[in-house]
Amino acid sequence: MKKSLYQKSFIKNLILTAVFLLLLIFDSCTSEPRDFFSTETPEEKNERMQWWRDGRFGMFIHWGAYSIPAGYYQGEEVQGLAEWIMDGAGIPVEEYEQIAAELNPQHFDPANWVSLAKQAGMKYLTITSKHHDGFCLWDSKVTEYDIVDHSPYGRDVLKMVKEECEKQGIEFCLYYSTMDWHHPQAKGEEFPLYLENYMKPQLKELIENYHPSMLWFDGQWIEEWTEEMGRDLYNYLRNLDPDIIINDRIGKRETDEDSPGDYQTPEQLIMTDILDDDWETCMTMNDNWGFKKGDDNWKSTDMLLQNLVDIVSKGGNYLLNIGPDADGVVPVISVTRLQEIGRWMDINGEIVYDGKPFQFFSEGEKIRYIQSRNEDYLYLASFDWPEEYLHFKYVVPEENSTIHLIGYEKALEWEAGDWGVKVKIPEELQGDPSKRPSDHIWVFKMKANPAETVKNPLISIKGQSADKHVFQNSTLITMTTETTNADIFYTTDGSVPDRNSKRYEAPFTMNNNALIRAVAIREGKVDSDITDFHLIRIDELDKYEQGVSYHYFERDNMK
Ligand code: FHN
């Protein structure tokens, strides 16, 4: 039977589609994996990092078998971090396996964990899939040493947390330790086998089944781990999910350019300056990551919020940790802190989410400057309640700008002069702290430009200008400032220098211990900061010979 034109073209299309599909399959089987590490463009990276950069604030969760001993072994407190107890107490693998076999968190409620993050204004959550003890919180097909196969609980914790994150709109991310005290090949020469046959399949499993938005590696300091392994693993994972974000601990963190990873991870500390790179401070609320009985060294809510604002002012993210107990319960103080942070974020959150670093970020310890992302507004965060007036000097509000205290409707009165800017805090907010719009850090919003400030004076002896100096008999003090036509005023008794202090005219001699303090002033510009310089007189220095000397004692000789 003759085929109609329609039938012919249908068959032709069918054949073409089949060929095309075969080619596609063939191509995907044979095409080289992409070297993301060296070929990703800045635009591609910007796009990939967007949700993380916007998020700013995340929850870290350290939870696992170590939550059971909670820092105690055989009735004794174990020194070191709670989640390190296997190592700290030298618990043999078989014995630790028995501890893990007891994990049965009857009060674990993923909705509760995730909603705590959500309430606090956090946008992502990073949970330990496997910490250094090697125990896995998901149903891994590569091992039986996981919460589903090894513990009475028998449920896939990661899956539950993941589903809850999806429900509540929180990005789901996973911590994974390369160091593994449980796996027999994770040490010494056999490490490459552990990497290929255990780590990689596990990470593939995590990416394909749990789709984490970010992977947070840890344990990179072990000698088995190399920069090459890091680069290879980075590309392997990015080929599995090109959009995934990976922290810098996938590499050794030894060099800047050659180290893989998308952002830096300072631990328990905050960068001291604005950084061009992405970075995230991870921090505990008390002294341990995992749950530790009796660890009551809690940071205050005020401190946690100051950290958050300080980090945002320098362009970083804040990953704040909780360590639930063995039953899955989050310590009550952590809950309170998160709720208080959330109340503050409900009012002031725009400084966090809409904030980016301004050209300078701080004025002393208690003021932080942050600008809005479109650069239209400047936020000034005051860590202390300013009482009657708020003073600041590094920006000048635009002439017609209003200044608002976030959370309070009326515009505030302000005036500017050579001394800086003075904002009047309304009387109705004075006195009773409950009248203030929030309980911590107060945020002022305005349109402003950087003020012209005089450069700090530089004080030196013999051309050296560190802040402490040792001299003999007498020394010559020199002062300079980079601002032309500025006058320097100084004191030598530790008091605050101002226009009425001694004016610096020429180098002068000092022959005693002193704290010299100086300020540079030029009319029409904002006064410089004060420079401090400590002079320490040592008269007997020439009695000593230069160099290092030592005396050797043997223990037995000391009896
Ligand atoms: O040893 C771990 C520690 O237990 C914890 O997981 C922290 C979190 O950043 N990281 C390691 C130390 O760098």
Q: What is the DSSP string of 230-258?
A: HHHHHHHHHHH-TT-EEBGGGS-S--SSS
Confidence of residue 57 (pLDDT cuts 50, 70, 90): very high
Q: What is the DSSP string of 101-150?
A: TT---TT--HHHHHHHHHHTT--EEEEEEE-TT--BSS--SS-S-BTTTT
Output the average pLDDT for the chain: 91
| Residue 541, number of CB atoms within 10 A of its CB | 11
Residues in Cβ contact with 340 at an 8 Å cutoff, skipping those fewer than 6 apart: 301, 439, 440
- Determine whether the shortest distance from the Cβ of 215 to ligand 1 is under 6 A: no
Atom of ligand 1 nearest to the CA of 282: 9
Closest CA to 311 of 264, 251, 260: 264
DSSP assignment letter at 467? S
- Determine whether the shortest distance from the Cβ of 218 to ligand 1 is under 6 A: yes
Best residue among 59, 60, 81, 249 to mutate for probing ligand 1, ranked by most atoms within 8 Å of CB: 81
pLDDT at position 1: 41
In sequence order, what E strands does 5-88 have?
A: 57-61, 72-73, 76-77
The H or E element that residue 26 is part of is helix 5-30
Q: How far is CA 167 from the centre of its chain?
A: 26
Confidence of residue 417 (pLDDT cuts 50, 70, 90): confident
- Determine whether the shortest distance from the Cβ of 82 to ligand 1 is under 6 A: no
CA of 259 to the centre of ligand 1 (A): 19
Q: What is the pTM of this model?
A: 0.85
- Going by alpha carbons, the residue nearest to atom 5 of ligand 1 is 289
- Determine whether the shortest distance from the Cβ of 179 to ligand 1 is under 6 A: no
- Determine whether the shortest distance from the Cβ of 378 to ligand 1 is under 6 A: no
- Going by alpha carbons, the residue nearest to atom 6 of ligand 1 is 289
Q: How far is CA 390 from the centre of its chain?
A: 29
Confidence of residue 419 (pLDDT cuts 50, 70, 90): confident
Distances (CA, A) of 543 to 535, 540, 546: 20, 6, 10
CA of 550 to the centre of ligand 1 (A): 39
- Determine whether the shortest distance from the Cβ of 289 to ligand 1 is under 6 A: yes
Q: Which two tokens stand for residue 322?
A: 């909780």
Distance (Å, rounded) from C-alpha 415 to C-alpha 367? 18
pLDDT at position 553: 47
Atom of ligand 1 nearest to the CA of 83: 4
pLDDT tens digits, residue range 2-55? Answer: 444 445 555 555 555 555 555 445 555 457 899 998 999 999 999 999 999 999
Contact 476, 516 (CB under 8 A): no
pLDDT at position 5: 43
- Going by alpha carbons, the residue nearest to atom 7 of ligand 1 is 289
Length of the chain: 559
Whether 474 has a pLDDT exceeding 90, the answer reads no
Atom of ligand 1 nearest to the CA of 81: 4
CA of 2 to the centre of ligand 1 (A): 74
- Determine whether the shortest distance from the Cβ of 267 to ligand 1 is under 6 A: yes
Give me the amino acid identity at 112. Answer: N
- Determine whether the shortest distance from the Cβ of 363 to ligand 1 is under 6 A: no
| 3-class SS of residue 515 | strand
